[in-house]
Every structure is written in structure tokens, then in C-alpha cells.
Amino acid sequence: MLRFAARESGLAFGLARTVPLPRFLAADLAASVQGKNSDDLVFTTVSGSVVRSANWRQKVFLPAREQAGISDRFRIHDLRHTAAALMIQAGYPPKMLQAILGHASITTTLDLYGHLYPGDMDKYADRLGDAAADATGKAKMGPNDAEDEGDTMDSSYDLGRLWRARRDSNPQPSDP
């Protein structure tokens, strides 16, 4: 994965952020960076100056949106949300997404995009069951292992005993 340093006018004090650039996009941009220095602009106006958000919106984004038949309610900022959703779908971890989006706190990232991690609870709950079974040496039970609906794991499968045995791995503060 290549890196692309993006300077956004909205960032305080002119800070830059480096984000991963997928190879397919790097190949598409190769012609645009050919013969340029590392400090040169990649995207410029026809005259070679900095692209301003308002001008780009008026001259590029709005005509492209209209040509694509996308609703007038679709904003430039929605491109950012779309990119974040695609990164989540591709398996980016929340902390990586936070860094790419430039959020100061993981709370912001998870508040905005946490709902896009569907179905993960069941996957991790199953992993916890597998870890408990591994720790006790018991065979893992699958969803069809119970003989009837009232059947449960035998009483020797005591998770309480397991947690008590590992109590020191996560000590709680003692009373003052």
C-alpha cells in the first residue's frame, strides 16, 4: 500500500495527514504525478494553482453529480462518509479509520461509523466461547450439539471456576 500525504485547508495550523492509497488508485494517478517533485501539487486548476473547495464544487462536483443522476442532497462531505463505509467493509480496524479520517478521538469515529460493523457481536461471542472451551480442555459445542432444547453443557463446565482461577491476570483495586 502506498501513502498519500493530503493537506486539507480545514486542518488547523496547516497539518498534513498521511493516508493509505490503494494500488489501483495509485496506478490511475501515476500519469498525474509523472515528472512532479514531492512538493508539487497533483490536482490543480487549469492554470496550475491550488484547487479551492468552492470552485471545485461549482465546476467539477455539481456537474459530475448531475451527470451521474445523483440526488441534489448528496454533498461533498458525503464522499468522505462513503470512503469510510468502504474502508469498514474492507476490514479496516476502527483505530486505523480514526487516523485516516483525522478524528482526535476514537469515540468520534465509533459514534459516527460504529453501526457499520454489523454482525461482529456474534462472531466475537463465539470466539469467547471457543477460548473458554480451550482453557478448560472441553470440546467446543456447536449449535446442533444439544440433544434437545432443554439440554445444556454439563455441570463440570464451570466458567466461574475458570474466572476464579485466572483472577490474578486482571486484578481489581483493593478496598482502601
In terms of pLDDT, which residue wins out, 47 or 73? 73
Cβ atoms of 132 and 159 within 8 Å: the answer is yes
Question: Counting beta carbons within 10 angstroms of the beta carbon of residue 59, is it exposed (0 to 12), middle (13 to 18) or buried (19 or more)?
Answer: middle
65 vs 75: CA distance, rounded Å:
9
Q: Is residue 93 part of a domain?
A: yes
Neighbours of 16 (CB within 10 A): 9
| Collapsed DSSP state (helix, strand, coil) of residue 2 | strand
Q: Is residue 170 part of a domain?
A: no
Total count of domains within the chain:
2
Angle at 53 between CA 55 and CA 35, to 5 degrees: 90
Give residue-wise pLDDT tens across range 132-145.
888 887 665 555 55
Neighbours of 154 (CB within 10 A): 8
Mean of per-residue pLDDT scores for the chain: 75
Cβ atoms of 21 and 4 within 8 Å: the answer is yes
Cβ atoms of 141 and 153 within 8 Å: the answer is yes
Q: Is residue 82 part of a domain?
A: yes
How high is the pLDDT of residue 143? 55
5 vs 21: CA distance, rounded Å:
9
Q: Is residue 55 part of a domain?
A: no
How high is the pLDDT of residue 159? 52
pTM higher than 0.95:
no
Cβ atoms of 84 and 101 within 8 Å: the answer is yes
- Owning domain of residue 89: 72-121
Q: Is residue 85 part of a domain?
A: yes
Q: How confident is the model at residue 8 (pLDDT cuts 50, 70, 90)?
A: very low
Task: Judge whether residue 131 has pLDDT over 50.
Answer: yes
Q: Is residue 154 part of a domain?
A: no
Give residue-wise pLDDT tens across range 89-109.
998 999 999 999 999 999 999
Q: Is residue 15 part of a domain?
A: yes
Q: Is residue 13 part of a domain?
A: yes
